[in-house]
Chain A
Amino acid sequence: MTKKEEKRGKLNLFLKNFKGQVTIFIIIALIIVALAILFYFLLRKPPVGPVVTENPAVYIETCMKEKIEDTVTNLSLRGGSVIPSNGYYLYQNNTIEYLCYTNEYYAPCVVQQPMLAQHIQEEILNNIEDDVILCFNSMKDNYEKEGYEVIMKSGNTSVDLLPERIVTTFGYEVTLTKSSTNKYENFQIVIPRDTYRFASIASSIIQWETLYGDAEVTTYMNYYHDLKVEKKKQIDETSIYILTNRDTGEKFQFASRSYAFPPGVIV
């Protein structure tokens, strides 16, 4: 083989190899671009706020659920009120409302919140009513932008504390027309919460506090095996009660001051 032929051979070999390498590089590049596109779609944040779907109930649930949950969490740590108005004790940065209170010594407490469950329902309702209007109006606007004809009749909102859940019902009527007409009414959001049981136990504890100045926490733990009940006595004889669902971590706290004894007073 002459040198020229040898060189040509090498060149041919080089060219063959070169084409192969280019092919490989192109394939790798395509893979990288595909992966990049995939990551982009996987990692990008979901759109903020409710998404317009066929069913307006889904929209309302997405819009309102977090607000209801936050309201329940907040008031549960504060003795059943979003902003305590019956006097409060500051405990671990929370203003915890007194459900039963006396400012005197040697005296039983006076019940401050006789209908706790009903009060909690009202507190939730009051705290979400502005958002209800906003959500329904926003839903209406969004559907109209999607080309729907929307007829909306507003109604009453109600909150019910039930065993193991809180049911919020919106008495709105929404009629959507595009290619067909669909009517939606009595929108409902159900969130799983133990608030009903907490309110019931808190009321029971308050009855003991007002009659005897104390409540035995182990009684409740023996009856409700998934419940932790704690009582923390404070320096001014206020008792902070903390009810915790051991399985879900949900908490309910409230304060009471009954049959307080002053330090260093002799008879």
Chain B
Amino acid sequence: MNKKIFINFGIIFLIGILSINFIIAESSYCCERLASGQWCQNAPQGQCATGINPFSNQQYTTPVATSCQLTSYCKLGTCVDSKSGTCTANTPLTVCNNRGGVWKAEEVGDLPECQLGCCLLGDSAAFTTQVQCKKLSSDYGLTTNYRADITNELECIASITSDEIGACVFEEEYQTTCRMISQKDCSEINGGEFHSGFLCSAQQLATNCGPRGGTLCHQESVYFLDTCGNIANIYDFSKLNDNNYWTYIQEPSCDNGMGNKNSKTCGSCDYFSGSVCTIYQRGETIKPDYGDYFCGSLDCKEVGKLHGETWCEENSITSVKGQNLPGSRYYRFMCYNGEVSIEPCSEFRNEICIEDEVNDFSVAGCVLNKWQDCVSQTNKTECENTYLRDCKWISGYSVLKNEDGENLAFTETEDNKIPGTCVPKYAPGFDFYAETGNGAEVCSLGTQACVVRYEIGILASKKKLSQKDWDEKMGKCVENCYCIPGYTSGKAKDKYENNKPSWHPKSYDEWVKLANEICTAFGDCGTKKNYLGGSGDIKEIFTSEFTK
């Protein structure tokens, strides 16, 4: 007997040891590098790379059974590249060192060398670090002009000041000619005279440059050219023969404030309004009244959308759109530069697309479908808190029950507690074919058990009752009678009909409908079609009876 106990204990101990080893083998390790190449990932030890790190020529660090953030080699910090001046957040130490960067434990915002300022580059600007600014200026062949006092990007863009352009008159090959350049550039021309505010076609400058030399695209708008090829004012057909318009630099007066799309007469284009300077193509575009350029529209005419608009679409066929069926997926469509591009939201409806209109302008985005904690909500208010989750409340049945089968989720009214279930507003998808996730378990939450109580005479037989058909049983029912197939209001015992709660379903069909509504709301569960309108395997809902 002692020997038997000892052997049993030994077997149990052995199983225990093996189990522990098994558990350890599946534990997470911090791998300096995975066998598949990625650096600093938490993974089972078997996935860690072995061998020599090609950057350090040393063995990869032995994996440690802890999170990478707690190791020295994979701790995340800021990687500073002193050559280019870039600072990259969330970079592991080993990755930064491998690339020749300097790793710092502090966050980007706390490092002085990573502070951003305004780098002025001629007639443009960039919001960068000081070292980045020096490199950029050198790359563009400019003197470094860095403003550390400008600490936001909008202010930086607003601070751009181009050198003033004017008419630079000078002698060339025994002719008085002219170029539209800056005063600084003009001073470098031998004998150059700068005339601020004037165009080269100004008569009083007496140059060989005259008006009406055609049009050209310049800074995304259409500009007049003079006969010397210099840029003049913005194209305005009504000013073609206006001497004043060919003399002084001035703003256009033809701008309609909406980008002058497809205008034959005005070249004041605006990208954000949906137009840009476009060349005329015979038979394909409109012909401007003068020259070869006009403000071409960037709108997506084929789909009736303006440039910059984004909107939501779904891949389901029209008849089942919006039902979040298995296989359906949300997409964000974008119209930019006359072209429609598509951005799919996450698969399995982990993201949904939401759309709104601002001044008739459609704006859409893929957002997270926050359904994961719906089912654990116990009241309608918390359930429908849109800041925290994307759920809806279905009244009439609670999937949350305690050990005694009592409902745990309610809507409280003045005189009643109506059970309900908080379900996802946008039914998520499950990867049921690859068997990952808990799809099956989630769907099983929708399985409903309903306890029906019958009342029979003291001498009546339970067995006989169980052999009767549904209609006969119905007449004996005193509790939850709506669960009996074929039940409609009034068919059960008076004891039930006169006292049943108002929220009880009026019929068996109503109960089945409610049950299916709850079940299908959990995700790819229950009787539903797929996104192409095809039916699933479950053709009907049936009720099984278990008697006790």
- A85 CB within 8 Å of chain B: yes
**Min CB gap A88→B, angstroms:** 7
Smallest CB separation, A91 vs chain B (Å): 13
Chain B residues with CB below 8 A from A231, complex form:
343
> Does B27 count as interface, using CB distance less than 8 angstroms?
no
Q: Establish whether residues A266 and B343, one from each chain, have CB atoms under 8 Å apart when the complex forms.
A: no
B118 contacts A by Cβ under 8 Å: no
Query: Does B285 make an interface contact (CB < 8 A)?
Result: no
A262 to B343, CA, bound (A): 20
The reply on A210 being an interface residue by CB < 8 A is yes
Kindly state the separation between the CA atoms of A246 and B339 in the bound complex, as whole angstroms. Answer: 10
A180 → B minimal CB distance (Å): 34
Determine if B110 is an interface residue (Cβ-Cβ < 8 Å).
no
Query: Is A163 interfacial (CB 8 A cutoff)?
Result: yes
Residue of A whose beta carbon sits closest to that of B80 = A114
List the A residue with the shortest CB-CB distance to B96: A114
Cβ contact within 8 Å between A228 and B337: yes
Q: Which residues of B contact A211 (CB under 8 A)?
A: 89-90
Does B39 lie within 8 Å of A112, measured CB to CB? yes
Q: Map CB proximity to B onto A99-119 as digits: 1 under 8 Å, 0 otherwise.
A: 011111000111111110111
Chain A: minimal CB distance from B223 (Å): 17
Answer yes or no: A12 CB below 8 A from chain B CBs: no
Answer yes or no: A61 CB below 8 A from chain B CBs: no
| B81–A118 touching, CB < 8 Å | yes
Q: Which residue of B lies closest to A111 (CB)?
A: B91
Complexed CA–CA distance, A206 and B108 (Å): 14
Give residues of chain B (370-385) contacting chain A, Cβ–Cβ below 8 Å: 372-373, 375-376
Say if the beta carbon of A264 comes within 8 Å of chain B: yes
Q: Does B347 contact A (CB under 8 A)?
A: yes
A263 near B84 (CB under 8 angstroms)?
no
Contact B372 A110 (CB under 8 A): no
Closest B residue to A231 by beta carbon equals B343
Interface 0/1 of A183-225, CB less than 8 Å to B = 0000000000000100000010011001100000110011001
- Tell me the residues in window 318-353 of chain B with beta carbons closer than 8 Å to chain A beta carbons: 334, 336-337, 339, 341, 343-348, 350-351
Closest residue of chain A to B310 (Cβ to Cβ) is: A218
Nearest-CB distance from B358 to chain A (Å)? 14
- For residue B251, CB closer than 8 A to chain A, the reply is no
Interface size range on A against B: 35 or more
Binary interface encoding of chain B residues 432-444 relative to chain A, with 1 for a CB under 8 A from any of its CBs, else 0: 1000111101100
Contacting B at CB under 8 A, from A228-265, are 228, 230-235, 237, 246, 261-265
CB-based contact A111/B95 at 8 Å: yes
**Choice from B86, B140, B438 contacting A264 with Cβ under 8 Å:** B438
A266 contacts B373, C-beta separation under 8 Å: yes
Q: Are B346 and A267 in contact (CB under 8 A)?
A: no
B39: A residues at CB distance < 8 A:
86, 110, 112
Interface centre among B37, B334, B351 (most CB of A within 10 A): B37
| Segment from B40-48, B405-413, B491-499, B527-535 that makes contact with A | B40-48
Q: Is the CB of B346 within 8 A of A86?
A: no
* CA–CA, A123 and B79, complex, Å: 20
B437 touches A232 (CB 8 A): no
CB distance from A221 to the nearest CB of B (A): 5
Interface flag for A87 (CB, 8 Å): yes
Q: A86-B39, A87-B36, A113-B99 are in contact. List 17 more A-B contacts (CB 8 A).
A: A87-B37, A103-B38, A114-B79, A114-B88, A115-B88, A115-B100, A115-B101, A206-B88, A261-B350, A261-B368, A262-B437, A263-B350, A264-B438, A265-B372, A265-B437, A266-B376, A267-B376
> Which 3 interchain pairs have the tightest Cβ spacing?
A264-B437, A264-B439, A264-B430
**Residues of chain A whose beta carbon lies under 8 Å from any beta carbon of chain B:** 84-88, 98, 100-104, 108-115, 117-119, 162-163, 196, 203, 206-207, 210-211, 217-218, 221-222, 225, 228, 230-235, 237, 246, 261-267
A-B contact pairs, 23 of them (CB 8 A): A87-B37, A104-B41, A109-B90, A110-B39, A110-B68, A111-B88, A111-B91, A114-B79, A114-B99, A115-B84, A115-B100, A207-B88, A217-B343, A218-B310, A228-B337, A230-B341, A230-B343, A232-B343, A237-B346, A261-B350, A261-B368, A263-B348, A264-B429
